[in-house]
Amino acid sequence: MARAARPRSARGPYLAGAAIACAVADYLLWEWHFHDALAYAKGIYPLDDADEWRYVACGRLVVHGYSLFQDVFSAQPPLLFTSLAGGMKLFGDGEGGAHTTEVIFGLLGLLAAAWLAWELGGMTAAAVTAILLAISPAFLVYSHTIEAEGPMMALATLSLAILARHVASRNGWLPVIAGLALAAAILTKLFAVETFLPALWLLSIPPVSRRARLLDIAAFTGAATLPVVLEFLLISPAQQWDQVIRLHNAAGAIAFAGADPAASVLWRFLTFDAGLTLAALGALGSLLVLRLYREAVFVFAWVGGTAVMLLYFHPLFPHHPPILLTGLACTAGIGVAASLERLERRAWARALIATAGAVYLLLAPRLLHADRHILSQGLADNPALVAYIVRHTDARDLIAVDDLRLADESRRLVVPPLCDPSNVRLRAGYLTGSEAIQATERYRPKLVLFSFGIFTQVPGFGAWLDGHYRRQSLGGSSTAYLQTRHSTVVGGRRQ
């Protein structure tokens, strides 16, 4: 499925390169402008920032030497928190460093998508892909949000781009490198497993011998699976399997009150940037009309396969579908380029492209409004609670809070097993009273603060704290528990 030889202008590569450079500049300027933004306009799209603060808290613990799965509870494979920890060491120990890490992954995703489109559709496809991503409010905001989906999407797209280069160049090492990139994606978020479907399609279609094709598939599959298997076997296997696999299996069997059906969540996302969605659908239709079946099957295996996986995943939350973004943009880029290059002399094709462009322009005001307003500067939800934490604890003290934003804004580490007090974990039975009590006994936090509503739902936790800590009501729904005597254990380690 390598690009066919096409007549090209001598200025074509320069124009495409300039378009991609403009897209990168727009992306970076937007992310720089909103680098301190912490509040999301949920009326535009229902983003929930609770995961962000949990992930920041977990990443900070990894920075400070606590081990994943044994100390730090993690419902995600290890590369998410190790990458966040690396970013925090380089760019700041808190949400700022974590946001910068996500922005870098977003840039990688944009460039990888443009590269993949260039390999499969040429320079016009690459330019269209990059521009669509750079002005997509969904891509911009999810390259800022501290979630696993953005890094996973970037690494999976990079894997496909490397494979597409291999199809064109027949470099024997590229399937191995692509497999390692996919392994990294899987070890960031297990959703990346679906990428095997378009990847194996890419490797199955080159006009080479059957033996060469099988060797490519074996090299790619081995490089993609062996690191994942070794990681699960060598790094806290029992705890990791329990937290990453069994927890999600248990959550999948629960009916969450008020949760939207998966189809509604997916539809809300696809209409968030309706221009990108319509462009991808129109492009897929163009590929079929042009009988470019290999390209059509590839993008359907990638985007369609991911969409089907999401529809069957439970519970599906609004931050899951953004993994479709690079696939949608690549589909649009490849289809637009194919239409322009093969049907440019046909009046109906020109009319179709003009109509598609007009529809996108009609949607542009809505898109630009979302770009400008989906993020805003945000202060602490309750600065009084932050001040209370700072006043009653030292920087070296551990605390336990169910609103992890308070921990980041007070610059305090949290009790490692309680760094992810999510509703999913609670409902799945992975945040029980005995677990919360054992974690508190082991790490002896200086302060335990109930304010977000999760800890109050943990059976027996508050009653146990009443007998071991000094209770203080802070007004509203907030309650603090302070140590009543000096502890000889700090941070879970004897001093």
Which pLDDT does position 493 carry in this prediction? 44
pLDDT beneath 70: ranges in the chain: 1-12, 343-350, 352-353, 377-381, 485-495
Structure confidence by residue, pLDDT tens digits, 30-81: 999 888 777 787 778 888 777 888 999 999 999 999 999 999 999 999 999 9
Can you give the residue ranges of every domain in the chain?
A: 12-375, 383-494
Which pLDDT does position 491 carry in this prediction? 45
Which pLDDT does position 11 carry in this prediction? 65
Contacts of 9 (CB under 8 A, 6+ apart): 15
* Contact yes or no for 98/84 (Cβ under 8 A): yes
Contacts of 117 (CB under 8 A, 6+ apart): 125, 126, 128, 129, 130, 329, 330, 333, 334, 337
* Contact yes or no for 96/35 (Cβ under 8 A): yes
Which pLDDT does position 377 carry in this prediction? 64
Please tell me whether the peptide bond between 417 and the residue prior to it is cis, using omega within 30 degrees of 0: no
Structure confidence by residue, pLDDT tens digits, 362-387: 777 777 778 777 877 665 568 899 99
Q: 123: helix, coil or strand?
A: helix
Question: DSSP string covering 19-42, please?
Answer: HHHHHHHHHHHHHHHTTTEEEE-T
**Contacts by 277-281, CB closer than 8 A, 24 or more apart:** 277/328, 278/356, 278/359, 278/360, 278/363, 279/132, 279/328, 279/332, 279/335, 279/336, 279/356, 279/360, 280/327, 280/328, 280/329, 280/331, 280/332, 280/335
The single-letter code of the amino acid at 306 is T
Q: For strand 413-414 and strand 493-494, is the pairing parallel, antiparallel, or unpaired?
A: unpaired
Listed in sequence order, the DSSP H helices in 205-324 are 210-234, 237-240, 247-252, 262-272, 274-289, 293-299, 305-312
Which pLDDT does position 490 carry in this prediction? 45
State phi, psi for 448 to the nearest 5 degrees.
-120, 130
